Amino acid sequence: MQPITLSLDLVNAILQYMGTRPYNEVFQIVNAINQVGIPQVQAMQAVAQAPAETPAEAAPSSSEPAQA
């Protein structure tokens, strides 16, 4: 299956609409979206919560003496 990219707002709108439909018509699609979408949302949240590394943290300062 080829992956596609949808905005989170669009996926939420689709799920909201499916919530108005009978369970037996949509439960498999909702489960499939959850199985793919939940890990992606968790990964996005982890990236958003991770502290950003500043350039000074990424490279050692040239003013620090080299250790022998």
Q: How far is CA 16 from CA 7, 20, 22, 35, in A?
A: 14, 7, 12, 17
Q: How far is CA 62 from CA 45, 47, 54, 65, 66, in A?
A: 34, 29, 16, 8, 9
Q: What is the pLDDT of residue 16?
A: 96
Q: What is the pLDDT of residue 3?
A: 86
52 within a domain of the structure (yes/no): no
Domain count, the chain: 1
2 within a domain of the structure (yes/no): yes
User: Whole-model pTM above 0.75?
Assistant: no
pLDDT digits (tens, 9 = 90+) for 12-30: 999 999 999 999 999 999 9
pLDDT digits (tens, 9 = 90+) for 38-66: 999 899 889 988 886 666 666 565 555 55
1 within a domain of the structure (yes/no): yes
Q: What is the pLDDT of residue 65?
A: 59
Structural domain span for residue 3: 1-47
Q: Which two tokens stand for residue 20?
A: 């108005």
